[in-house]
Structures are given as C-alpha cells and as structure tokens.
Amino acid sequence: ETGVTQSPTHLIKTRGQQVTLRCSSQSGHNTVSWYQQALGQGPQFIFQYYREEENGRGNFPPRFSGLQFPNYSSELNVNALELDDSALYLCASSLVVGTGMETQYFGPGTRLLVL
Amino acid sequence: AQKITQTQPGMFVQEKEAVTLDCTYDTSDPSYGLFWYKQPSSGEMIFLIYQGSYDQQNATEGRYSLNFQKARKSANLVISASQLGDSAMYFCAMREGSGGTSYGKLTFGQGTILTVHP
C-alpha cells in the first residue's frame, strides 16, 4: 500500500463533457504529479503541483488543469473530453526535500472511458 | 529520440530463476535518477528500485538489483529467484535534473511484460 488513493476507480463520459478526478496523497507529501497512461503504453506526464502551484507541465493542452489543496488532496480536471482521452489516469505523490532522490508513490488510478 | 527504451515487449522466466529486464536511456543532463516500477493488472504502479546518476554502487532492494552501466547508458533490472507474483508489466523511468520543475516529471519507457512460469 502506497497511501495514495484515487477516486473514482472507473468513469464513463461522453465526448464534450467535463470530468474531475481526485487524488489523496500521502500525509506530508508536498508534491503531486498526474500521468495519463493509454492502453499498452507507458505513463505520460501531464503536470505536477508543488505546494499548491503548478510547477511543470508535459505536452498536454490547457483543457487539462489541476488543483492541489492544503489537505494533501488534488484534482485533475479535463474539459471538452475527446475520445483519445480514454486512459488510466495516475496520480503520484512525493515529499520533495531537495536531494533529487525523492520517490514518487502512485495511486491505483482512475480508468476513464470516453464514448 | 526516445529518452527511455525498453526493447523487450515480453519476457518469460521459470519460477526460481533470475531474469534481466533491459533499459537504456538518453540524457545530456549530468544529474538524473532512474526508477523501476512494477504494474500488475490492477493498474497501480509499485516502486521497486532507484539509482542516482552519481551513485557509485549498483542499487539493490531485496530480490531486485539494478545493473547500472553509466557509459553505456543502461540500467537493467535483475530479479532473482522469480516468483509467480512477479508476473506483471515492468517500467523503467527517468527523472532528469535535480531540482525545480524536474521533480515531478518521470519519463517512462514502453514497458516489458514479464510472465513467470511454474
């Protein structure tokens, strides 16, 4: 068990809708990252939040946005869903102390299907 | 160019035997970290082992060891005494840099599916 939880576990949406995915990090972790994993692929970095501010983004459009809250929870919001957004969405938390050795601990993921 | 390359889509190993999963990486940053994760069919990514670019010795964690060859830019995972529960997808990942916006960004390979036969 990593201590990182995600909700919901599965979700079905239709094209054009909006979705919010939630993540609860390990207590004390100050950084959360979100990844998209398409079927049969490795995870792709979406963005990370450090102390409640976005601090790095991958090659994803602005319709992917996020929030990080003081209580170690975070959200990934996706607007105007497209069929290609169907994937497993993973969040990962870590405690950044500046050594560069920090390990990211992943949650079980949310499987999103866009019809 | 691919930053992380895993050339073995699938590997098979007999229970109790050792197996090596290959990973090569590409970076010009002198400071980087290499990670291996296991992903069972349930989807959760399980951290296995970490190797820093400045580490002098190969990392080991129980039955997992990392064969780090810096000049060849390879970071192969060795699993000793394979168990049936080791059957899963294995990902090699890299984090470049040592601070700032590099903290959260892991770049993953395509993965290797390991099947352990009884």
Over the stretch B27-36, which tens digit does the pLDDT of each residue have?
A: 998 889 999 9
Is the Cβ of A23 closer than 8 Å to some Cβ of chain B?
no
Cβ B46–A2 below 8 Å, yes or no? yes
Is the Cβ of B89 closer than 8 Å to some Cβ of chain A?
no
All residues of chain B having their beta carbon less than 8 Å from the beta carbon of residue A97 are none
Over the stretch B35-74, which tens digit does the pLDDT of each residue have?
A: 999 999 988 899 999 999 998 899 999 999 999 999 999 9
All residues of chain A having their beta carbon less than 8 Å from the beta carbon of residue B97 are 100
> Are the C-beta atoms of residues A90 and A107 closer than 8 Å to each other?
yes
Chain B nearest-CA distance from A51, in A, is 12
Over the stretch A16-73, which tens digit does the pLDDT of each residue have?
A: 999 999 999 887 888 899 999 999 999 999 999 988 888 889 999 999 999 999 888 9
Using the predicted structure, report yes or no on whether residue B102 has a pLDDT greater than 70: no
Under DSSP, the state recorded for B47 is: E
pLDDT at residue B99 in the model: 59
Instruction: Name the phi and psi angles at B111, rounded to 5.
Output: 95, 155
pLDDT at residue A99 in the model: 60
> What is the distance between the alpha carbons of residues A66 and A19, in angstroms, rounded to a whole number?
11
What confidence tier does A95 reach under pLDDT thresholds 50, 70, 90?
Answer: confident
Which of B31, B44, B102 minimises the CB distance to A106? B44
Using the predicted structure, report yes or no on whether residue A100 has a pLDDT greater than 60: no
All residues of chain A having their beta carbon less than 8 Å from the beta carbon of residue B93 are 42
Q: Does A8 sit behind a cis peptide bond, omega within 30 degrees of 0 on the bond before it?
A: yes
Alpha helices in B15-59, H assignment, sequence order? none
**Which residues lie across from A86 on neighbouring strands?**
none
